[in-house]
A and B are shown apart, each in its own frame.
Chain A
Amino acid sequence: MIALNAAPFWIMCLATMAGTAPLIGSPSQRVLLAGLNFAFVTYFLGWSALWLAGMLLGVWLLLRLTGLPMLGIWLTLAASLGALALFVIHKTPADVSNASIQTLKTLLSVIGYSYVMLRFFELLRAVHEGRRDPPDLISLINYLIPFHMLAAGPIQSYDDFVRHSQSIEQSITTRQVLTGAERVSLGVFKKFVLALALQKVFLTNFESTGLWLFIEVNVFYVWLYLDFSAYSDIAVGVGHIIGAPAPENFNNPLVARNIIDFWDRWHISLSMFIRRNLFLPIQLVLMRWTESHLPLTCASIAVAISFLLCGLWHGLGPNFLAWGGVHAAGLVIARIYAFLLQRHLGSKRLKAYRANSWVRLTSTVITFEFVAFSFLTLFRLPTQW
């Protein structure tokens, strides 16, 4: 994984800002950005970057063939299975006996493959469904391995990427640079001061017990938010300056009033990916099967499948599956509760109920504790099957 407390990332930021800022608005900007993106991963990979170059060329060619009748479907399926196989290699413990697998694992780790895979699926789906033309090699590199989003996302949708590419600004303004730099400085402060302080003072990998465990569980959630959102702040800030915007990923999740609201505020780009590519297609299939007779059941099953897969995306162990299961259960219960409230109170009284500050406070505290304790599954349950 790309370390943000080491020089290469920041040298890359400065080089990209200095190099691309004068070129914003010209076609050379995206060419230079692609070159810098590839050079960045080459710095970490050395000769193994040739593997990556081969993979990118393979994907570029594959996307051109997915439009072919019949063959396209099989190629899309094969590409999806191949991407999933790489994900399994990426997430399983290191096999040091096999040099090739070790090289591949290093490569996947450097490019943050978990995120690259989701971007690849977005791209594959957009091209296969005919919504977008296959990208040229330059766009492919800029979309799949943007240096500022390699460390921890966000997951930019391909539609979003194309929209931004088509509306390239003519020049960079002082305000843009200032806003971007402020966002980056906020990110590094959150990560290296606030999150680090909480980690050093409170966190013990959940070895604490009793009241200290309760405190640690709550602080861990705040720490994770600070640390993770810091990565997004840096990516958004850098993207702002270099003319390659990254989507927003957090919106005050600590004050979410229920688990549905939480997933609208936490890791938003992943949440949107799940909604677009898992929840909605699964729900649609189920609604067709049941001829729209059981909407709540269909939505609940779709949520359960989506979040179990979401858990496995974070890690292939039973602990991550359980974490996904806990969130799936929370989401299903929240949906059923909202449905019952609507039925019993009616729209007018429901509005008044939701506006009540005590209800809001109680639901926010319950949601906070639910999310905080859900992380215990990651540490207290087995990590291997």
Chain B
Amino acid sequence: MLVKVITGLGPPEDMSRLEFAARLIKIVVLFFISFSLAADVTPFFYQRF
């Protein structure tokens, strides 16, 4: 099941593929931005603030 989720093959029955993809992308983007900042890799965001 975990593999199914990670590979994006199995949205829940009552969820469209579009919504499923959008939610997966949101998760990836939030993780990417957060860990970029946490690791201090992209000080770009701080400069904007």
Closest Cβ of chain B: how far from A29's Cβ, in Å?
Answer: 13
Q: Is the interface of B mostly helix, strand, loop or mixed?
A: helix
Decide if A188 touches B23 in the complex (CB within 8 Å): no
**A18 interfacial contact with B, CB 8 Å:** yes
**A185 interfacial contact with B, CB 8 Å:** yes
**B17 interfacial contact with A, CB 8 Å:** no
Contacting residues of chain B (2-46) with chain A, CB-CB under 8 angstroms = 2, 4-5, 10-12, 15, 20, 23-24, 26-27, 30-31, 33-35, 37-39, 45-46
B45 partner residues in chain A, CB cutoff 8 A: 193, 197
Docked pose: A344 CA to B41 CA in angstroms = 60
Decide if B1 touches A171 in the complex (CB within 8 Å): yes
Known: A181-B27, A186-B30. A22 touches B2 (CB 8 A): yes
Decide if A189 touches B33 in the complex (CB within 8 Å): yes
Interface centre among B35, B37, B45, B49 (most CB of A within 10 A): B37
Docked pose: A5 CA to B31 CA in angstroms = 12
B5 partner residues in chain A, CB cutoff 8 A: 174, 177-178
Docked pose: A197 CA to B1 CA in angstroms = 37
Contacting residues of chain A (2-30) with chain B, CB-CB under 8 angstroms = 4-5, 17-18, 21-22
Q: Bin chain B's interface residue count.
A: 20 to 34
Docked pose: A191 CA to B11 CA in angstroms = 28
Contact among A177, A181, A200 with B49 in the assembled complex (CB-CB below 8 Å): A200
Contact among A171, A185, A200 with B46 in the assembled complex (CB-CB below 8 Å): A200
Known: A174-B11, A174-B12. A188 touches B2 (CB 8 A): no
Docked pose: A182 CA to B25 CA in angstroms = 10
Interface size on A, residues (CB 8 A): 26
Docked pose: A193 CA to B34 CA in angstroms = 6
Docked pose: A370 CA to B1 CA in angstroms = 48
Decide if B37 touches A196 in the complex (CB within 8 Å): yes
B23 partner residues in chain A, CB cutoff 8 A: 178, 182
Decide if A188 touches B31 in the complex (CB within 8 Å): yes
Interface centre among B11, B31, B34 (most CB of A within 10 A): B34
Closest Cβ of chain B: how far from A15's Cβ, in Å?
Answer: 12
Decide if A185 touches B1 in the complex (CB within 8 Å): no
Docked pose: A185 CA to B32 CA in angstroms = 9
Docked pose: A182 CA to B30 CA in angstroms = 9
Contact among B4, B27, B30, B31 with A174 in the assembled complex (CB-CB below 8 Å): B4
Contacting residues of chain A (152-194) with chain B, CB-CB under 8 angstroms = 171-175, 177-178, 181-182, 185-186, 188-189, 191-193
Decide if B26 touches A182 in the complex (CB within 8 Å): yes
B39 partner residues in chain A, CB cutoff 8 A: 5
Known: A171-B1, A177-B5. A185 touches B31 (CB 8 A): yes
Q: A interface vs B, CB < 8 Å? A: 4-5, 17-18, 21-22, 171-175, 177-178, 181-182, 185-186, 188-189, 191-193, 196-197, 200-201
Knowing that A185-B34, A193-B34 touch, tell me 4 more A-B residue pairs with CB under 8 angstroms: A175-B15, A177-B2, A177-B5, A197-B46
